[in-house]
């Protein structure tokens, strides 16, 4: 009989980061308690029901099948649960009515497809994607099955400390639209080219640029698999619960127990925070936190959030699974900064085989503060206030107009089922409701890995990379 006491580990936050960390730790033999403040686990991985149709909250598509995602699925025993679904991807520049198809067959094909629209910039386009490939080749952690722990840091390249904007400027592009099209996946990590470190941008973009797909049954596929594995490993799941306070050793900077919001006391060996550091830092003793850490966390800037509209096409109308990056014009920086004068709308259509109809979800970049600025002073809720309802109606009309602009045959045939503003995201992702955590602004380092309280660790899209691939990789790095 094995009498060894299992390590008791708490994971806080049950988005893809916390879920992955929980399963990896459980597989390593830890007794894991997963703490989630909402009534259900899953964070931005969750889907929801409207009139019998399933809609995504956050996660809609991914890269990495046949590569790093498949490696993760194998590691977690999810190969039979999470399967790709084709997704036609295109950029639509509205003020020029220009549509560019992005093939899902690797960077060389992508470069060729874009160059076909901009032949005068063909050499610069090839150079851009060659640099992206070079940066990824110098990132050993992407080959996580084979990388040595000592190699976890990426190798330096000539592109370090260069913003995406600076690199684009160095290409002397003749077509200004390319400054939006080449770094289009900035819309999937949220740091604008003018602020973003070029290598960071390439690491986030590579799998999406190379092979972008949807997932059959979306986030439900992951949730089914996680729940099955958690039952197998006896994971203790506490929903509608938060950590009220932590207890610490008197002799070392070590956390010894957590007091939960229902007043349960749990002794702990390790805690992993898969939530915003601005939410968990107040739980750590002030005397263990160097001023530079507090400054770092204070200075973290949120990424954009989204205003989202979902619904379905009128009976009899069908569209293939499509992702359209609708850009009002080609100034991508303005779409990803607060007080924005510009926006982009991601339009995803999806065939629901069970109901025989096509659903759509369209998400418009928007910061929480800009939403509040349009709706007046905010004192906790204005769900039913006239001004908020009018704001939602105006945004919904504008987004429907974007869809109809990109797909004229759909005008008048879009049945809206719901809408949500950045205030809704704030419930999942407090305190600011950002879609991708904190911006990876050049020169600002985020808080990740081991904290000054040595058995506490930070992970999640605030800490490493956003998106489900980045979050899974971050969880792996934090736990293994
Ligand atoms: C509209 C939208 C579209 C997106 N599209 C895609 C996409 O197509 N592909 C992609 O890869 N990524 C996409 N993303 C980004 C992706 O969803 C996120 O980067 C990722 O899901 C974040 O996972 P996470 O685990 O770090 O955080 P979250 O999913 O935010 O999970 C955090 C969890 O912690 C809980 N929590 C917060 N505070 C506490 C607390 N104090 N105590 C206990 N629990 C707490 C929250 O309730 C939540 O359940 C999208 C995001 C949005 C908003």
Range of the domain at 72: 2-82+217-300+442-479
Domain boundary among 208, 225, 248: 208
289 & 389 share domain? no
CA distance 68 to 23: 18
**Paired tokens of 93:** 């520049």
CA distance 474 to 460: 7
pLDDT digits 0-9 by tens, 106-129: 999 999 999 999 999 999 999 999
Domain boundary among 208, 242, 257: 208
- For Cα atoms 187, 363, 317, give the angle at the middle one, nearest 5 degrees: 120
123 & 192 share domain? yes
359 & 398 share domain? yes
Task: Assess if residue 100 is contained within a domain.
Answer: no
The neighbouring-strand residues paired with 346 are 325, 363
pLDDT along the chain (480 residues), means of 10: 68 97 97 97 95 92 95 96 97 96 97 98 98 91 69 68 95 97 97 94 96 96 98 98 95 94 96 94 90 87 95 92 95 92 94 86 94 79 80 96 97 96 83 88 78 89 89 90
199 & 177 share domain? yes
226 & 265 share domain? yes
409 & 353 share domain? yes
Task: Assess if residue 94 is contained within a domain.
Answer: no
Task: Assess if residue 95 is contained within a domain.
Answer: no
141 & 254 share domain? no
The neighbouring-strand residues paired with 35 are 12, 238
* Probe residue for ligand 1, chosen from 11, 12, 15, 60 as the CB with the greatest number of ligand atoms within 8 Å: 15
Task: Assess if residue 93 is contained within a domain.
Answer: no
Q: 3-state DSSP call for residue 235?
A: coil
327 & 407 share domain? yes
296 & 327 share domain? no
Domain boundary among 164, 185, 208: 208
Task: Assess if residue 375 is contained within a domain.
Answer: yes
Ligand 1 proximity of 36 Cβ (cutoff 6 Å): yes
* Probe residue for ligand 1, chosen from 38, 45, 244, 275 as the CB with the greatest number of ligand atoms within 8 Å: 275
Task: Assess if residue 333 is contained within a domain.
Answer: yes
58 & 40 share domain? yes
221 & 75 share domain? yes
What does R_g of the chain's alpha carbons equal in angstroms? 22
320 & 401 share domain? yes
The pLDDT score that the predictor gives to residue 326 is 98
* Probe residue for ligand 1, chosen from 69, 277, 367, 467 as the CB with the greatest number of ligand atoms within 8 Å: 467
Pairing of strands 456-458, 449-450: antiparallel
Pair 230, 42: CB distance under 8 Å: no
CA distance 361 to 54: 11
pTM of the model: 0.95
Q: How far is the CA of 1 from the centre of ligand 1 (A)?
A: 40
What's the CATH code of the domain at 267? 3.50.50.60
Q: How many domains does the chain have?
A: 3
Name residue, tokens 């004192």.
379
Q: How far is the CA of 309 from the centre of ligand 1 (A)?
A: 18
Ligand 1 proximity of 38 Cβ (cutoff 6 Å): yes
CA distance 75 to 277: 28
């Amino acid at each position: 009989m094995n009498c060894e006491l299992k390590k008791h580990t708490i994971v806080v936050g049950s988005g893809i980061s916390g879920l992955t960390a929980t399963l990896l730790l459980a597989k390593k033999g830890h007794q894991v308690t997963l703490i989630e403040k909402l009534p259900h686990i899953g964070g931005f991985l969750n889907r929801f029901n409207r009139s019998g149709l399933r809609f995504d909250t956050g996660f809609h598509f991914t890269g990495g099948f046949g590569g790093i995602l498949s490696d993760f699925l194998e590691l977690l025993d999810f190969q039979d649960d999470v399967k790709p679904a084709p997704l036609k991807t295109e950029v639509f520049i509205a003020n020029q009515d220009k549509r560019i198809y992005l093939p899902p067959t690797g960077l060389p094909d992508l470069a060729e497809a874009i160059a076909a629209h901009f032949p005068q910039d063909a050499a610069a386009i090839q150079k851009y994607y060659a640099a992206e490939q070079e940066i990824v080749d110098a990132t050993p952690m992407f080959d996580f099955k084979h990388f040595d722990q000592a190699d976890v840091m990426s190798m330096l390249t000539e592109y370090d400390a260069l913003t995406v904007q600076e690199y684009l400027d160095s290409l002397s592009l003749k077509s200004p639209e390319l400054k939006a099209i080449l770094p289009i996946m900035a819309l999937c990590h949220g740091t604008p080219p003018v602020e973003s470190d070029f290598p960071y941008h390439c690491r986030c973009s590579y799998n999406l640029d190379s092979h972008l797909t949807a997932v059959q049954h979306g986030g439900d596929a992951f949730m089914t698999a996680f729940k099955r594995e958690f039952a197998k490993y006896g994971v203790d799941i506490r929903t509608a619960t938060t950590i009220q306070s932590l207890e610490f050793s008197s002799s070392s900077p070590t956390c010894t127990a957590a007091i939960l919001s229902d007043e349960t006391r749990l002794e702990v060996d390790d805690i992993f925070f898969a939530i915003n550091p601005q939410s968990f830092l107040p739980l750590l003793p002030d005397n263990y936190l160097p001023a530079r850490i507090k400054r770092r966390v204070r200075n973290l800037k949120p990424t954009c959030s989204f205003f989202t509209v979902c619904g379905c096409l009128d009976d009899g109308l069908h569209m293939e699974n499509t992702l359209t990056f609708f850009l009002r014009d080609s100034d991508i920086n303005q779409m990803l900064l607060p007080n924005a004068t510009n926006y982009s709308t991601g339009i995803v259509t999806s065939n629901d085989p069970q109901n025989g109809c096509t659903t759509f979800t369209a998400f418009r970049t928007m910061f929480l503060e800009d939403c509040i600025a349009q709706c007046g002073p905010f004192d906790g809720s204005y769900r039913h206030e006239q001004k908020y309802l009018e704001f939602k109606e105006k945004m919904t009309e504008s987004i429907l107009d974007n869809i109809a602009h990109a797909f004229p045959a759909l005008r008048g045939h879009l049945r809206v089922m719901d809408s949500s503003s950045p205030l809704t995201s704030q419930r999942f992702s407090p305190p600011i409701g950002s879609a991708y955590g904190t911006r990876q602004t050049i020169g600002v380092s985020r808080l990740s890995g081991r904290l000054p309280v040595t058995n506490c660790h930070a992970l999640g899209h605030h800490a490493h990379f956003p998106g489900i691939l980045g979050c899974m990789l971050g969880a792996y790095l934090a736990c293994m």
